[in-house]
Structure 1
Amino acid sequence: MSTQRRKIVVSEFMDSSAVESLRKHFDVLDDRTLVDDPKRLFEAVHDADAIVIRNRTQINPALLERAPRLSVVGRLGVGLDNIDLKACEQRQVKIIPATGANALAVAEYVISTAMMLLRGAYLSSAEVASGDWPRPQLSNGREFAGSTLAVVGFGGVGQLVARLAIGLGVQVIAFDPQLAGDAEVWQLSGVRRVSFEEALAQADVLTLHVPLRDETRNLLGPVQIKSLKPHAVVINAARGGIIDEAALATALREGRVGGAALDVFEEEPMRDGSMFAGLPNVILTPHIAGLTLQSNERVSTLIAARVTEALSQGGC
């Protein structure tokens, strides 16, 4: 089959220059509204050879059944929990994630939110603008330099977070059961390998960088939260479901945790009246830690190139 006749469906936002590069070789249906319209999505993929998605489009048996020609899934990101990997393997559908392309954006999100939460002085603009002057209350913030950052999950993003933090004078420790104690990365990074329990107990800042699996669901639950220092801040820019959100919200409300930055949630979007509403020293963002102008261009360009290569080779 000629590549000119092959079809690619883009069901979520992709950088326009990357879409145009795909159009040079393929018929492309670029419609970011498809993710919210399953009926139209199923109709669109019936003759598709590839689909490009972000984290909301579900690649499951129902979709695969309606896409008999599908051979490639391009993932504009790295998490794969919205993709039925077993079903794709059975159908010989190749999954192409954008590994590493948005790591810097996520790492900068972690560093910036950690500094904001430790300092505790950047969420008071409305009060200052209205004439209040909360100088005494905001004069006891903590410096990032000299603190201990605990990284849970020491893959590509975790290692980049560590590198940025070390450059700011932060002591970094990490827990990752997938990395052996004699793995070269520990020596090269200068990061001390610790147990999960040690990471919790020593962290001034705890950042999570693990995938959502059965063994990581509610990894940070009520028991683990009790092990944190009262002033510790928690950052999750990985996946919703890794933290027991109710337990964290309760700890924040009771002053047993110093703050939290959450970019991902078990339910997205969150419902009105969330348990985090009105809590102090909390930063909530809508799953955008890895999204910047630059990272989106990198991710989109990478996926466009790899999908083009896969289809040009005949797919899988």
Structure 2
Amino acid sequence: MALCVIPQPIHPVGPELLRAAGIDVCMAPDAALLAAELQRADAAIVRDGLSEQEVDSAPRLAVIANHGTGTDKIAVERAHALGIPVTYLPDANVLAVAEHAFTLMLAAAHNVVAADAATRRGNWRFKYEGRMVSLYGKTLGIVGYGRTGRLLGEMAARGLGMRVLVWSPSADPAAIAQGGARAVPTLAQLLAEADVVSLHRPLRADTRHTLDAAHLALMKPSAIVVNTSRGGLIDEAALVEALAAGRLAGAGLDVFEREPLAPDAAIAALPNVVLTPHVAGSSQEALEATARRCAQQVIDALAGRMPEHMLRPEVWTRRRAVA
């Protein structure tokens, strides 16, 4: 019987579908168990990545299913070199991520976390002391215009009457206009005009530190930064400095340069930041849909059917044989 190893928890529907298809499932929440099970695994469904060493330790591995969109934490090149297809899901959780980005920008603007803490302490004077701003009619700048960025722009425009600007080197300006937004030619222009900047780019060598110290310096002191994409898109040290110095009003972050975020991380000490632990795509509806589709990708691959979404479809023709 084929075996699928799952290092991090996923919605129960995923394992149920795998078992119904005759595939054994092993949950491997710790490193030692994962190392042992990878030696006999035919497939893996991963949420937090798979290292090159782990890929090399799995001689039977015939498919890696990524539980989401971003695959930067998977040793993709090594997997492909060994003939192991890597699948992903381009749209299973995009609505949840867009909703979370919307939540973070509102929470940061309305100082929700500090207000909650003050209320729990009985500090009713926060009502007179806390700084809150309205986003209605303000300008949202979206960096990267994939499905999530487009959904967020539509939410902001329709729900808050926001003007939406987009900078995306790969997006069609006509598609941006169709989504009710306006394309701008440079990132610098977007940063100078936006009251909220939300990042929606994959993490690659050319996108790392899209917001570095120089770019952060172009933003309004009243602006808010939101990131639900990948932590490496922002120079976190530069962001901390700008927030601490009052050169930016706030931030809402779901992702970080190093995860999990250390309790003593400098960003965690700032009062004008809303932090969540990489949960933007984790609504119950998104988790169920993602687990279901990951399981189907594994079922298809092990049955000799090409999965729906592969990073490099050409790998399928030279894939490792299922044992």
Q: TM-score, normalised by structure 1?
A: 0.90
- Corresponding position: 1:177 with 2:169: yes
- Corresponding position: 1:11 with 2:7: yes
Within the candidate set 17, 21, 27, 1:21 is matched to 17
CA distance in 2, matches of 1:311, 1:228: 50
Q: Counterpart in 2 of 1:188?
A: 178
CA distance in 1, matches of 2:22, 2:61: 14
- Corresponding position: 1:237 with 2:228: yes
Residue identity in the other structure for 2:35: F
Alpha-carbon offset, residue 32 of structure 1 = 4.1
Alpha-carbon offset, residue 76 of structure 1 = 0.8
Question: Is contact 2:253–2:276 with CA below 8 Å preserved after alignment?
Answer: yes
Question: Is contact 1:153–1:209 with CA below 8 Å preserved after alignment?
Answer: yes
CA distance in 2, matches of 1:171, 1:262: 22
Question: Is contact 1:154–1:176 with CA below 8 Å preserved after alignment?
Answer: yes
Residue identity in the other structure for 2:233: I
Within the candidate set 36, 41, 58, 1:48 is matched to 41
Q: Secondary structure at the match of 1:283?
A: strand
Q: Counterpart in 2 of 1:167?
A: 158
CA distance in 1, matches of 2:210, 2:278: 19
Q: Counterpart in 2 of 1:120?
A: 111
Question: Is contact 1:10–1:28 with CA below 8 Å preserved after alignment?
Answer: no
Could you give the per-residue CA deviations for residues 234-275 of structure 1, whole angstroms, max 9, x where no partner exists? 011111121111111111111110100111111112223221
Show the 5 A alignment for 1:13-162.
Answer: 13-33=9-29, 36-37=30-31, 39-55=32-48, 57-60=49-52, 62-121=53-112, 123-129=114-120, 130-138=122-130, 141-162=132-153
Higher relative contact order (CA 8 A, sep 6+): 2
Q: Counterpart in 2 of 1:297?
A: 288
Q: Is 283-292 or 41-50 further displaced after alignment? A: 41-50
Given the superposition, is the C-alpha separation of residues 54 and 171 from structure 1 closer, same or farther in structure 2, using an over 3 Å criterion?
Answer: same
Identity of aligned residues (%): 32
Q: Counterpart in 1 of 2:316?
A: none
Q: Secondary structure at the match of 1:297?
A: helix
CA distance in 2, matches of 1:66, 1:166: 49
Show the 5 A alignment for 1:215-294.
Answer: 215-294=206-285
Given the superposition, is the C-alpha separation of residues 8 and 125 from structure 1 closer, same or farther in structure 2, using an over 3 Å criterion?
Answer: closer
Alpha-carbon offset, residue 163 of structure 1 = 1.4
Question: Is contact 1:50–1:73 with CA below 8 Å preserved after alignment?
Answer: yes
Alpha-carbon offset, residue 13 of structure 1 = 1.0
Question: Is contact 2:211–2:233 with CA below 8 Å preserved after alignment?
Answer: yes
Q: Secondary structure at the match of 2:97?
A: helix
CA distance in 2, matches of 1:118, 1:126: 16
CA distance in 1, matches of 2:265, 2:59: 41
Alpha-carbon offset, residue 121 of structure 1 = 4.8
Q: TM-score, normalised by structure 2?
A: 0.89
Q: Matched residue pairs, number? A: 304
Alpha-carbon offset, residue 122 of structure 1 = 5.1
Q: Is 238-247 or 114-123 further displaced after alignment? A: 114-123
Question: Is contact 2:15–2:25 with CA below 8 Å preserved after alignment?
Answer: no
CA distance in 2, matches of 1:216, 1:44: 35
> What 5-or-longer segments of structure 2 have no aligned partner?
307-318
Question: Is contact 2:139–2:165 with CA below 8 Å preserved after alignment?
Answer: yes
Question: Is contact 1:263–1:284 with CA below 8 Å preserved after alignment?
Answer: yes
Q: Secondary structure at the match of 1:124?
A: helix
CA distance in 1, matches of 2:251, 2:123: 27
Alpha-carbon offset, residue 25 of structure 1 = 1.8
